[in-house]
Chain A
Amino acid sequence: NAGVTQTPKFRILKIGQSMTLQCAQDMNHNYMYWYRQDPGMGLKLIYYSVGAGITDKGEVPNGYNVSRSTTEDFPLRLELAAPSQTSVYFCASSGTSGILDEQYFGPGTRLTVT
């Protein structure tokens, strides 16, 4: 199993540009999450999904959108990128007990907005 994969690993965006961060998992997990981690800070939940077709907002959803058309994929869309969105983005997934289960994290995407 590849586990949780994310692409790209690094990206530089100009202010106002848009992009999609890709996340996929091959563990047949229902629950998937997107976090951002600012330098020296903890993980902030952006969006999460408890299954295909279902998404919900986390702590810091503004400026982002998600979709969950399949169990495997959970892309994160940034519209009109702003410098405040410079961060490392982690995707994660967990099994049938959702947030009561271990979260498996992807390797992260380092995004810089200038």
Chain B
Amino acid sequence: GENVEQHPSTLSVQEGDSAVIKCTYSDSASNYFPWYKQELGKRPQLIIDIRSNVGEKKDQRIAVTLNKTAKHFSLHITETQPEDSAVYFCAASRKNRDDKIIFGKGTRLHILP
């Protein structure tokens, strides 16, 4: 089955700097890759997603890149702000007989003042 590895588990960056979180997946048939943000004590919420027919997608300060050949995708946050502090989860899924989505273990991002 699908396996999603996420790195690093913890990341601290200075406010204003960029943050990058990386994920790899094992199932070459996976074709949808969402990223969720979970603030402390809150529910996960989708921040950006990318489908396998696209190499990059950007939404203001957030961007995601996908390398299908290498089976890895990354989240990039530029000009980080205190409200970016949270846990970020990547996920991978494929539309098939078994409709499952597999999450990475998460990255705790700390934005330092």
A residues at B contact (CB < 8 Å): 31, 33, 35, 40-45, 48, 50, 56, 58-59, 90, 97-100, 102-103, 105-108
Contacts and interface: CB of A to CB of B under 8 A. Distances in A.
Contact of A90 (B43, B46, B49, B93): B43
Nearest to A97: B95
Interface in B1-50: 6, 31-32, 34, 36, 43-46, 49
Contacts of B51: 100
Nearest to B46: A102
Interface residues of B, number: 24
5 contacts: A45-B103, A97-B95, A100-B31, A105-B43, A105-B44
Contact of B105 (A41, A98, A102, A105): A41
A41 B102 contact: no
B32 A99 contact: yes
Given A41-B105, A100-B51, A102-B46, A50 B99 contact: yes
Nearest to B93: A99
A98 B103 contact: no
Contacts of B36: 103
A43 B99 contact: no
B87 to A, nearest CB: 9
Nearest to B34: A102
B89 interface: yes
Contact of B104 (A42, A98, A100, A107): A42
B57 interface: no
A100 B46 contact: no
Given A99-B32, A102-B49, A56 B98 contact: yes
B103 A58 contact: no
